[in-house]
């Protein structure tokens, strides 16, 4: 038996029309992770191509599933026409292995950080962090989750089947121009989305599920809650993400 979670971000001119199945990014694991940052297109609106950026795809980035204690060799190739970086948000790494504004990857170059995962099981993320360009590259689409696992977490009675009962929920807002192309550095990023999907729904099993909620927005805060009572009813498993007024 399947239930539908309704993942809706309300507010700011976001009209409620057709529900769309949210994107569940692919996963990458192992001790050698290859990422290619590239441009692409994505249909945020049915039938309309919007220019985007992604890692190993047109939009968003693969979810990295890593184990505490593992040593990982990364290869991050910049196939964009712009310099960028990749920052491992929340992970404890040496500066040379972290793509803050100082560790740039020029177009056509491959950056090869290598480090041991020191952090406990949790949800982290990665995204470009170039000075003055973070908003542009993240808004265009480069953002991915990092799920770190460890022995302590493995003993807990929690869902951990990615995409089946353990779901990424990346909350973002974007601003589109008249041609439905993404704008940056505006204060009118009023189109809210979950996993790059406007008016998203998720076909979830009727059991306890795990949602790894990320605020991947450049400047927004979200109130996240349940619709109706704070009780999850089997027949009406409806979640509603409410936009904060500010
Ligand atoms: Cu960050």
Q: How far is the CA of 205 from the centre of ligand 1 (A)?
A: 31
Contact yes or no for 213/185 (Cβ under 8 A): no
Question: Quick one: pLDDT at residue 187?
Answer: 86
Contact yes or no for 17/46 (Cβ under 8 A): no
Task: Report the predicted TM-score, pTM, of the whole model to 2 decimal places.
Answer: 0.87
Question: Quick one: pLDDT at residue 3?
Answer: 54
Q: How far is the CA of 216 from the centre of ligand 1 (A)?
A: 8
Q: How far is the CA of 127 from the centre of ligand 1 (A)?
A: 6
Q: How far is the CA of 21 from the centre of ligand 1 (A)?
A: 26
Which residues fall inside 5 Å of ion ligand 1, going by CB?
Answer: 89
Cα–Cα distance, 61 to 43 (Å, whole number):
16
Q: How far is the CA of 158 from the centre of ligand 1 (A)?
A: 26
DSSP string over 164-187: TTEEEEEEEEEEE-TTSPEE-S-S
Unique residue bearing structure tokens 């491992």 = 88
Question: Which residue ranges in the chain fall short of pLDDT 50?
Answer: 1, 10-16, 231-246
Contact yes or no for 76/110 (Cβ under 8 A): yes
Q: How far is the CA of 126 from the centre of ligand 1 (A)?
A: 7
Q: How far is the CA of 90 from the centre of ligand 1 (A)?
A: 7
Q: How far is the CA of 178 from the centre of ligand 1 (A)?
A: 29
Selection from 166, 174, 173, 204 nearest residue 63 by Cα: 166
Could you tell me the two tokens for 164? 């089946």
Question: Quick one: pLDDT at residue 226?
Answer: 72
Cα–Cα distance, 84 to 129 (Å, whole number):
7
Structural domains in the chain, sorted by start: 2-22+158-243 (no CATH), 27-154 (2.60.40.420)
The predicted-structure confidence for 183-204, as pLDDT tens digits, reads as follows 988 888 989 999 999 999 998 8
Q: How far is the CA of 224 from the centre of ligand 1 (A)?
A: 20
């Amino acid at each position: 038996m399947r239930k539908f979670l309704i993942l809706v971000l309300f507010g700011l001119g976001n009209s409620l029309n057709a529900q769309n199945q949210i994107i569940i990014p692919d996963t990458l694991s192992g001790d050698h992770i290859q990422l290619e940052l590239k441009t692409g297109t994505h249909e945020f609106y049915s039938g309309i191509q919007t220019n985007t950026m992604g890692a190993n795809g047109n939009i968003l980035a693969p979810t990295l599933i890593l184990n505490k204690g593992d040593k990982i060799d990364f290869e991050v190739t910049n196939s964009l026409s712009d310099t960028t970086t990749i920052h491992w948000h929340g992970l404890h790494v040496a500066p040379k292995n972290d793509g803050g504004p100082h560790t740039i990857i020029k177009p056509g170059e491959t950056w090869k950080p290598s480090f041991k995962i020191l952090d406990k099981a949790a949800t982290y993320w990665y995204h470009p962090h170039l000075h003055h360009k973070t908003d542009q590259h993240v808004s265009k689409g480069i953002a991915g989750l990092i799920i770190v696992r460890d022995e302590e977490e493995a003993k807990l009675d929690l869902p951990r089947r990615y995409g089946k009962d353990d779901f990424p929920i990346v909350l973002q807002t974007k601003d589109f121009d008249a041609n439905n192309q993404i704008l940056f550095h505006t204060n009118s990023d009023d189109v809210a989305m979950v996993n790059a999907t406007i008016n998203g729904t998720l076909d979830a099993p009727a059991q306890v599920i795990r949602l790894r909620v990320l605020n991947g927005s450049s400047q927004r805060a979200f109130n996240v809650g349940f619709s109706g009572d704070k009780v999850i009813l089997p027949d009406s498993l409806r979640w509603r993400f409410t936009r904060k007024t500010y």
